[in-house]
Amino acid sequence: MLDEPKPGDSPSDLSVQALLYASGEMEAAEAAAFEQRLGEDQAAREALCQAVEFATLASGQAPPTPDPAYRDRVRATLRQRRRHMKKLVGQPPTFGPIALWMALGAIAAILMMLVLTHMASMHQHNEPPTHPRPTTAPQSEQPAPMPERVDAHSRLLPPPIFA
């Protein structure tokens, strides 16, 4: 028979906790805390693996292992998803890139319009006038009608009703 364990031989608190957790006998709050620890503590994860392995061994069974067929399923899924990704990459640009080009085109058109408008207004302000604008002369400066024109004008008037 083997010796009783010495005081220093006692398993770590983590191993004991893992054993209790794996047995499903941990209190709900404690189990939740241990599960949280499993999320970030690799030592706790390893302790759980060991607890499962030990527990299985105690029943005289080999440690639990997955059915090797799962490997083929992993391979098939990975291949399928890779093909799908390749297909996506090989396809002509879809709505995303088209929308991007449309937006860029719209921005370019607006910029072009702004530049043209600006250039046109600059052109109007800076260019010396080649043809003087017809100015409306003041009333007093209007040339007097020529006498023959006056006559012609008077001929067109109706005869006076009251002489």
Partner 1 sequence: MSEDSDAKLIARFRSGDESALNAIFARYEVQLFQFLFGILRNHHQAEDALQETLVRALEHLDGVDSGHLRGWLFTVAYHQAMLVKRRLKKQFASMDDQDGTVSDEEPGPLFQVEREDDARRLRELLEQLPPGQREVIRQRVYEGKRFREIAETLGCPLNTALARMHEGLKRLRLLWEQNHA
Name the site residues for partner 1 (rule: CB under 8 A).
1-5, 9-11, 13, 15-16, 18-25, 28, 35, 38-39, 42, 45, 48-49, 51-61, 63-67, 70-71, 73-75, 77-78, 81
Closest to partner 1 by CB, 10 vs 121, is 10
Nearest CB to partner 1, comparing residues 61 and 130: 61
| Min dist. Cβ of residue 92 to partner 1 (A) | 25
The answer to whether 26 touches 36, Cβ cutoff 8 Å, is no
Least CB distance to partner 1 at residue 50 (A): 8
* Contact yes or no for 52/69 (Cβ under 8 A): no
A 10 A CB-CB count for 19 gives 19
Measured from the CB atom, the residue of 32 and 152 that comes closer to partner 1 is 32
| 59/126 with CB nearer partner 1 | 59
CA 83 to chain centre: 25
**Residue pair 42/72 in contact by the 8 Å Cβ criterion:** no
Nearest-approach distance from CB 33 to partner 1, in angstroms = 14
How many other C-beta atoms lie within 10 A of the C-beta of residue 44? Answer: 20
CB of 40 to partner 1, least distance (A): 8
Angstrom distances, CA of residue 26 to CA of 18, 37, 52, 79, 139: 9, 14, 15, 41, 110
